[in-house]
Structure 1
C-alpha cells in the first residue's frame, strides 16, 4: 500500500494540474485539496530550505543564523507532510504567501544596508511593508492556526503541524515587534543593535 493517494483520488480533491487561482478550494480544504502546481511549489520550497540550511552550515554561519536554521527545520517538517503523504498541501501553499511580504522586506533591508532611510521611497515602502506583513504573514498564520486548533489533543499529523505552526507564530510576532520598533520607534532601539540588520531588523 503506497503512502500517497492515486492520481484519480488527487484530482477529486483538487484541480489536478490547475494553478492555485483556479483551485481556490486549496485555501479552504487545507488538509485534502491537491493540485499539481501546489504540490510542485511545496517540493521546490522544501528544496530551497534544504539548500539554504546546508549553505548556512557549510559557510560556518550557524551560530549567527540560528534563527533561520530553526525556521528552516520547522518549515521542512511541515512541507514533508505534503510531499510524502499528500496531506495539507493547501496549508503549505497558504504559508508560502509570506513570500509576497518578503519582496518589501528585502527592499527595506537593502535600503537600510545602503543607509537610504532618508529617501521618500523608503518611507513609502515602510508603510506598504507594514500592510503586506499583515496581509501575507499575520493574517494567513492566524487563519492556519485557527484551522489546526481542531487537532489539539489528537495524536495525528495535524497535531504535529499545529505544534510547528504555534512556534512559527511566536517567531513571526517577534519579527513583527522588531519591525515596529525599528521603523516606527527608532529611538527605543539601542544603537549597538543597528549592526545586526539581518536578525534584529
Structure 2
C-alpha cells in the first residue's frame, strides 16, 4: 500500500479510471451468476438486477472499509477537513471509480431519464470526492459519507428481492426492518453529522459554502427517500385507501 499510494495520489484521474474498469469487470463477471426466472423475463429487470449486483459489491466493500477506517483511526471523526491515511485515500478513489462506472452504465444503457435522481446524487458525490482526491482535503469527510453504504446493502437487497417477486418472503420482512435501522444509524446519522460539522466549523473550512449547500441538497434527498421507503414498506396503498375511505 505504501508503495502504491504515491502513484495514486499523484495521478488520481487515471487511478479512478482503473477503479471504474474494475467495477466494469465485476459487472461482466456477475452476469455469469444465475438470476431468478422473473428477472430473466423482463429487459428492465435484467438490467436493474445486474446494476444492483455491482452496487452490492461496492456497498459491501466500501461500507466495511469506511467503518474500519474510523475504528482504527478515530481522528477521522474529529478532523474531517485535513486528516487522512493512505487506506482512506484509496477508499475514496475506489468509491469514486464505482460512481463513475455506475453513472456511465445508467446513461449508456438508456436509463438516464428514469434514473435522474441517481445521476444527480452521483454527480454530487463524484464532484465532492474529486475535490478530496485532488486537494487531499475532506478525505475523512468522504470516508464518513461512505458510512451510508452499510445501509445501501439492505437497500439493494430490498430492491433485488422485489425484482425477484419475493416481497412476501421472511427474508424481505426481516430486511425491511434492518433497512430502517441502518438507514437511521448509518445514512441519516452520517449525513447529519457531516452537516453539523460543516456548520460548526464553517469559518475555518475551505469552500465551506459549497459543501454546506451540497449537504443540504443531499439531506433533502435522503429524507424524501426515507419517507418513500416508509410509505412503501409500512403503509401499503390498500391500507391508505381504506383509511381515506373511512374518513
TM-score, scaled to structure 1: 0.80
Distance 1:29 1:145 in 2: 14
**What is the DSSP-based 3-state SS (H/G/I as helix, E as strand, rest coil) of the residue aligned with 1:34?**
coil
Instruction: Report the equivalent of 2:163.
Output: 113
Distance 2:239 2:192 in 1: 28
CA RMSD of aligned residues (A): 2.3
Shift of 1:31: 0.6
1:31 aligns with 2:81: yes
Partner of residue 76 from structure 1, selected from 126, 147, 158: 126
Shift of 1:76: 0.8
1:135 aligns with 2:175: no
Instruction: Report the equivalent of 1:177.
Output: 227
Number of matched residues? 175
Please list every run of at least 4 consecutive aligned residues from structure 1 whose deviation after the TM superposition is greater than 6 angstroms. 188-191
Q: Which runs of 5+ in 1 are unaligned?
A: 5-17, 192-201
Instruction: Report the equivalent of 2:145.
Output: 95
Distance 1:122 1:99 in 2: 19
Q: Which runs of 5+ in 2 are unaligned?
A: 1-8, 10-67, 242-247
**What is the DSSP-based 3-state SS (H/G/I as helix, E as strand, rest coil) of the residue aligned with 1:168?**
helix
Shift of 1:150: 3.6
Shift of 1:33: 0.8
Distance 1:189 1:61 in 2: 32
> Structure 1 residues 53-62 or 70-79, which shifts more?
53-62
Instruction: Report the equivalent of 1:104.
Output: 154
1:57 aligns with 2:124: no
Shift of 1:55: 2.0
Q: 1:128 to 1:155 in 2, by over 3 A?
A: closer
Distance 2:118 2:238 in 1: 25
Distance 2:143 2:78 in 1: 11
Distance 1:38 1:145 in 2: 20
Larger % of helix: which? 2
Distance 1:66 1:190 in 2: 28
> Structure 1 residues 149-158 or 71-80, which shifts more?
149-158
| Conserved? CA contact 1:46–1:79, under 8 Å | yes
Q: 1:132 to 1:62 in 2, by over 3 A?
A: same
TM-score, scaled to structure 2: 0.65
Describe the superposition over 1:114-134 as per-residue Cα deviations: whole angstroms up to 9, x where unpaired: 221222221111111110110
Distance 2:171 2:121 in 1: 30
